[in-house]
Amino acid sequence: MLAQIDAAIEADDRVALHASLDPLHAADIADIIERLAPARRRLLLELYADEIDGEILSEIDESIREDVVEQLPRGVLADAVREMDSDDVVDLIEDLDEPERAEILAALDDSDRAAVQQSLTYPDYSAGRLMQSEVVTAPEHWTVGDTIDFIRAEEWLPEQFYHIILVDPRRHPTGYVTLGRLLAARRDMPLRSLAEDSFRTVSVMAKDADVAYMFNQYHLISAPVVDADDRLVGVITIDDAMAVLDEEHEEDILRLAGVNDESHVSDGPVTTARQRLPWLVINLFTASLSAIVITQFEATIEQLVALAALMPIVASTGGIAGTQSLAVAVRALATRDLNRSNARRVVMRELGAGMLNGLGLALILGLAGTLIFRDVNLGVVLGLAMIANQIVAALGGVLVPLGLNKMGLDPALASGTFVTTMTDVMGFFAFLGLATLILI
């Protein structure tokens, strides 16, 4: 598919390009635009600019949005943003710099512009940024018939809505009714009697990650957003919550590995290198700690060079165990499975598991060392060092993310580097220290 499109761009063949792209869903067109090399992308936008609508624009990844917006003819851009729901306009505009921002705001209707500007007053990654201001409400004293008549008469309705939100005269949401129940009920039924148990509101200042958790935990489809006075200001729908959940996961998996989470598949080698260099440089320094530890034992290694060959085994098995414990803890913190109420139990569990695996691995490695080197004492050193390092790994893997979390930081934030530094240093220290005591 990408090859066909590449060929059409190459040949400046507008007809072939349309034949390839027109049948596709906006999300797939956006993906193709993202995957093209930057020069190709510019050519494609020249040939296909008139077809870029609000739907495609809202699907384009933020890493290339600014480029795309700059290149669109002003009329196309204005038409596109007028089509978009307010949450999508906010999502687009928050990544842009001033001239484009002003231009897009100018293209909107007065009421849309007010809604977007209001949203932008809320902090980044808040429910206020995520919500759309387009909501369908009904006074709580209405009947099913009143509501259906109102909806039929309404000129404008959101693209997608799943609930009617009941509001009191001061616009406080007091419940919601699913459209399915509304359709199934007799016209004279009071709306109140159809309201769902699952109703809960979201504060406009709530973190988007907490909103995503709430949708997943309580199987919500939409949730009304309220301001500090408990007044309805918008609604968040599940597709936006699902996108946030997905971004959170991306952040966790990449941060654990020490990658800047702004990375994107369309980045070139220079951008990629720059995103990864910081943690590599930090690792140069943390790895130097291991080197310093080993240096203290140079006299020991001089007497028994085999130690130099064996020491990475203890260190690296500790690194794996630390990574395991860490991944479990970061995931459990993200799903709220690990929290204050059970942190102690989970730490004790990790300690127990670390001791058990330390013993098991010590037996295997100690026995192998004894047999291969025909030296019981070497086997004992390997075994004891392994036990010590497995315990450090298990505890480090859970305590580092818990500590970061307690300090209000992201528990995934490069905790991998901290934990493997701990297991490297401890692995070399325990092994070479014990060797000095027992073997030399």
The interface with a copy of itself within residues 364-383 (CB under 8 A) comprises 364-365
- Pick 100 or 290: Cβ nearer a copy of itself: 290
- Pick 107 or 311: Cβ nearer a copy of itself: 311
Instruction: Label the pairing between strands 222-226 and 202-203.
Output: parallel
15-34 positions binding a copy of itself, by CB under 8 A:
25, 27-28, 31, 34
Concatenated DSSP letters for 64-100? HHHHHHHHS-HHHHHHHHHHS-HHHHHHHHTTS-HHH
CA-CA distance, 308 to 431, in Å (whole number)? 10
Binding status of residue 428 toward a copy of itself by CB under 8 A = yes
Binding status of residue 273 toward a copy of itself by CB under 8 A = yes
Half-sphere exposure of 247 (CA within 13 A, CB side): 15
Reported as type and span, the H/E element at residue 434 is helix 415-438
| Least CB distance to a copy of itself at residue 6 (A) | 9
CA-CA distance, 286 to 113, in Å (whole number)? 50
| Least CB distance to a copy of itself at residue 312 (A) | 5
Among 7, 11, 19, 37, binds a copy of itself (CB under 8 A): 37
Among 15, 39, 228, 309, binds a copy of itself (CB under 8 A): 309
CA-CA distance, 106 to 231, in Å (whole number)? 28
Phi, psi dihedrals of residue 137, rounded to the nearest 5°: -120, 165
Binding status of residue 93 toward a copy of itself by CB under 8 A = no
| Least CB distance to a copy of itself at residue 353 (A) | 4
212-241 positions binding a copy of itself, by CB under 8 A:
215-219, 221, 238-239, 241
Q: How far is CA 373 from CA 290, 369, 382, in A?
A: 25, 6, 12
| Least CB distance to a copy of itself at residue 423 (A) | 11
Binding status of residue 403 toward a copy of itself by CB under 8 A = no
Binding status of residue 298 toward a copy of itself by CB under 8 A = yes
Among 47, 78, 120, 179, binds a copy of itself (CB under 8 A): 179
Q: Segment contacting a copy of itself (CB under 8 A): 13-21, 100-108, 123-131, 285-293?
A: 285-293
CA-CA distance, 130 to 133, in Å (whole number)? 10
242-271 positions binding a copy of itself, by CB under 8 A:
242-243, 245-246, 249-250, 252-254, 256-259, 263-265, 267-270
Among 225, 332, 378, 385, binds a copy of itself (CB under 8 A): 332
Half-sphere exposure of 269 (CA within 13 A, CB side): 0
The answer to whether the beta carbons of residues 177 and 163 sit under 8 Å apart is yes
Concatenated DSSP letters for 146-175? HHHHHHHH-S---SS--EEEEE-TT--EEE
Assigned token pair, 406: 């307690």
Q: Segment contacting a copy of itself (CB under 8 A): 14-22, 105-113, 126-134, 336-344?
A: 336-344
Look up residue 263 and give its amino acid: S
Query: What is the per-residue binding string for a copy of itself in 50-89, x denoting contact by CB under 8 A?
Result: ----------------------------------------
